[in-house]
C-alpha cells in the first residue's frame, strides 16, 4: 500500500528501500537483485540507487515508495491518493507513467483519488463513492459518459458541471426568465422538475451542430491557460464555465450567445437520478 505521504526508510539507500520486502521474505541475493533492478528501471530510479531518501526530490521519493510496493509481486496494490502532495510538474509526470506501469505489473491496482481527470487517465474501471457507499461501478469511460446521478456527474467534471433548473410542461422544457427549450432526446419524459447538466467543453460560443439550443450569459472572468480559455459566465442565478480552445480575450460584463447540443446534455429527475436519453 502507498499513502499520500511518501514513506521510506531514511537510513537506507533507494536500493535497500526497494529490496526491504524481499529481504523480509529471505529471498537470495541472486533472485533479489534482478527484481529490484527491474522495478527501479521501470520507475526510472536506476541512477539514484545509492542515494538516501533525503537526497531525492519529492517525485523520486514517491517513486521509491511505489517501487517498494510493486517489487513484492503482490496480486493487489492499494494506492491512497499517492500523488496529492507532489508539486504540479511531478504529478503530471507520474500520472503519465503510472497507467503504463500498472499495465506491466499484472497486479490489480486500486487507486483512490478525488480528481476526475486522474481517474480518466488511469482508465480501467471506476467506483464512485458518496458518504461511504459505492454509487456506481463500471468502465471509467462509461461512468463518465453515463453517470447514474447528479453527484457522480459533478464529481467527474472539472471545471464544474454546468447545470440548469427546468420544468417539463406540456409545451416543453421551461426555465427562468421565460426560457423555453426543446430537447429531442428527452421529449417523452413526464411532467415534473429536472436538472439539465452540460459539461464546460460542450458549452460553445459558436453554433456548430444540428440539435443546438441557444442560451446567453454575461462574462464574469476569463482564464487563459496557454492554448485554452475558460470563460466564466452568469445567467440568472446560474454560474457556468465554457471551455474553449485557443486564447479568448473577453471583457468582463460582455454578453454572449451560447450554444449547447441537446445530445451532449445529461438530464436528472427531482431525485437527482439520470434520465436515459432516447436514442
- Neighbour tally for 151: CB within 10 Å: 16
- Quickly state the pLDDT bin for 104 (edges 50, 70, 90): confident
Cα(65)–Cα(39) distance, integer angstroms: 11
Whole-Å CA distances, 275 to 21, 184, 190, 206, 278: 50, 13, 11, 27, 9
- Of 54, 84, 112, the residue that ends a domain is 112
Beta-sheet pairing, 76-80 with 108-112:
parallel
The CATH code of the domain that includes 233 is 2.40.50.140
What domain range is 35 assigned to? 14-112
Looking at the structure of the chain, the number of domains it has is 2
What is the per-residue pLDDT across 36-93, written as a single tens digit (0 to 9) for each? 998 898 888 999 999 999 999 888 898 899 889 888 888 888 989 888 777 777 777 7
* pLDDT(105) > 70: yes
- Of 57, 77, 112, the residue that ends a domain is 112
What is the per-residue pLDDT across 9-36, written as a single tens digit (0 to 9) for each? 999 999 999 999 999 999 999 999 999 9
- Of 75, 92, 112, the residue that ends a domain is 112
Asked whether residue 151 is domain-assigned, the answer is: no
pLDDT of residue 279: 66
Same domain flag for 258 and 174: yes
Q: Is the pTM of this model over 0.85?
A: no
pLDDT of residue 119: 87
Residues 6+ apart with CB under 8 A from 15: 36, 40, 49, 50
Amino acid at each position: 500500500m502507498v499513502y499520500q505521504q511518501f514513506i521510506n526508510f531514511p537510513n537506507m539507500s533507494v536500493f535497500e528501500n526497494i529490496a526491504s520486502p524481499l529481504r523480509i521474505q529471505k529471498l537470495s541475493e541472486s533472485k533479489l537483485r534482478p527484481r529490484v533492478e527491474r522495478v527501479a528501471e521501470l520507475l526510472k530510479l536506476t541512477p539514484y540507487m545509492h542515494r538516501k531518501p533525503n537526497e531525492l526530490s519529492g517525485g523520486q521519493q514517491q517513486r521509491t515508495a511505489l517501487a517498494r510496493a510493486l517489487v513484492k509481486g503482490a496480486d493487489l496494490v492499494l494506492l491512497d491518493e499517492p500523488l496529492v502532495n507532489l508539486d504540479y510538474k511531478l504529478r503530471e509526470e507520474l500520472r503519465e507513467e503510472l497507467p503504463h506501469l500498472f499495465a506491466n505489473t499484472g497486479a490489480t491496482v486500486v487507486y483512490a483519488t478525488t480528481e476526475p481527470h486522474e481517474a480518466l487517465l488511469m482508465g480501467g474501471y471506476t467506483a464512485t463513492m458518496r458518504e461511504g457507499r459505492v454509487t456506481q461501478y463500471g468502465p471509467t469511460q462509461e461512468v463518465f459518459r453515463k453517470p447514474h446521478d447528479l453527484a457522480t456527474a459533478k464529481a467527474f467534471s472539472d471545471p464544474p458541471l454546468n447545470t440548469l433548473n427546468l420544468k417539463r410542461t406540456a409545451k416543453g422544457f421551461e426555465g427562468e426568465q421565460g426560457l423555453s427549450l426543446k430537447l429531442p432526446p428527452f421529449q417523452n419524459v413526464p411532467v415534473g422538475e429536472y436538472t439539465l447538466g452540460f459539461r464546460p467543453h460542450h458549452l460553445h460560443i459558436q453554433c456548430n451542430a444540428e440539435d443546438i439550443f441557444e442560451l446567453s450569459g454575461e462574462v464574469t472572468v476569463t482564464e487563459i491557460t496557454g492554448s485554452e480559455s475558460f470563460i466564466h459566465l452568469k445567467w440568472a442565478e446560474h454560474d457556468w464555465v465554457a471551455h474553449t480552445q485557443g486564447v479568448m480575450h473577453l471583457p468582463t460584463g460582455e454578453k454572449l450567445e451560447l450554444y449547447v447540443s441537446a445530445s451532449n446534455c445529461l438530464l436528472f429527475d427531482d431525485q437527482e437520478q439520470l434520465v436515459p436519453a432516447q436514442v
